[in-house]
Structure 1
């Protein structure tokens, strides 16, 4: 766990290994660390210097020999808190700059952005999570999308979506629907901020779209594995009109709180 925290705080793999080893064995020379960790001695010295400057390690001399050990472990907590404070300040600065930056980007950004592969598809959906407090429209062959992106990914996506108060009106093809018992994070109702309907019989599709703001994010099937976002008010209005007509013809999916409410406790 400490190794994970240090990596997330920006420390290199070698720095983390050295720090963890110092916690295990107490005082050690650079030579001992190099041999224990199978690292070049100059690399050990460079990383020890970094750990000392960060308050995580100390150096002492004993019998004309330099020894190193982990410093007070409370310093690790102090270091993490300092980084959190700095990130909060940076976040405030970015928030103040965003309107101006967005104005510049909008003047330059292309109307269509293309992304390849599963990671590209996730990048498409990540854009949605910059928004909050809005209603979105989706047409998903949901069983295929869960297969492409994974159950864990969708679970986390829906937690973040609900926290940001992004509501969904969604339509699923009947032959590609899933059950709430196995996929409770896809539940419907006020808590889930989701309404769902089943498309008319005989109507099916392999590609998904998610309409939000003035954008429409399209996601392909696993066979093609790509996604793209079209940023256009006129195009968004066209998709909204199409969605509205299919919505009228589609059958509402009833809530099953006995399967889905437990998920809401994790949001």
Structure 2
């Protein structure tokens, strides 16, 4: 846990070891530090210079020699808070300026971005993408075409999906093809009656994206995600029209 915390602050295992050694010694020469820590003098000196640059270690001259001392452990919390503040500023810059600027640099030769995913990990990525995209929209709702055969495999990699969806305040409208399906909070469901079970794909419409999840041989799940305002708009019109008729 200690090493993980130091790594988050940008300290290497050697720097962590030297800092802890200095805490024990109080103040010491490079020879004493190297002897106590087991780090050779050359490597110890270079690491101490890095720690000094980070404000964690200081030194003072005593005759012709340098003596190093460790700053109070309270410095670690201050460094973490400063790092957090910088990260928050970076996130805000990414949202407001950097990402929009980079998106404008992308060539506009294709209006549709197509991505393929396979297996449980791929399906989980798609489900999390639905939550991420819809949760950022003013009208937190998406639409789904679903069928009974695919349902047991859909949420297998993400069993808490519905709970997370409800927690985020996301509504879903479902047109179920054939029987089955359970009522859930923030969910509306209508049915297209069929004779028996139908092996139909699961289609999620969450503009500007559409996800199509289906089962291959041995019930191996795969997904295609289309990112296109035009395609998602067309699918949304089809869904809304059918919803009113059911």
Bucket of the pairwise TM-score, normalised by the shorter protein: 0.5 to 0.7
Contact map agreement 1:125 1:217 (CA 8 A) in 2: no
**Greater gyration radius:** 2
Indicate the SS of the match to 1:79.
Answer: helix
Match 1:151 to one of 159, 169, 173: 159
Please tell me whether residue 137 in structure 1 is matched to residue 157 in structure 2: no
Larger relative strand fraction: 2
Distance 1:246 1:90 in 2: 44
Task: Describe the SS at the equivalent of 2:155.
Answer: helix
Q: Which residue in the other structure is 2:20 paired with?
A: 22
Q: Please point out which of 225, 230, 240 is paired with 1:229.
A: 225
SS in 2 for 1:26: helix
> Unaligned 5+ residue runs, structure 2?
26-31
Matches within 5 A, 1:84-233: 84-97=84-97, 98-105=99-106, 107=108, 111-117=112-118, 118-125=120-127, 127-128=129-130, 129-130=132-133, 131-134=136-139, 135-139=141-145, 141-147=150-156, 149-151=157-159, 154=161, 158=165, 162=168, 166-171=170-175, 177=181, 187-189=184-186, 194-196=187-189, 200=193, 202-205=196-199, 207-221=201-215, 223-233=219-229
- Paired with 2:123 and 2:15, the residues of 1 have a C-alpha distance of 32
Q: Give the TM-score normalised by the residue count of structure 1.
A: 0.59
- How far residue 104 of structure 1 moved from its aligned partner, in angstroms, is 3.5
Tell me how large the CA RMSD over aligned residues is: 4.5
Provide the rounded CA distance (Å) in 2 between the counterparts of 1:143 and 1:61: 70
TM-score when normalising by structure 2: 0.63
Number of residue pairs the alignment of both structures matches: 227
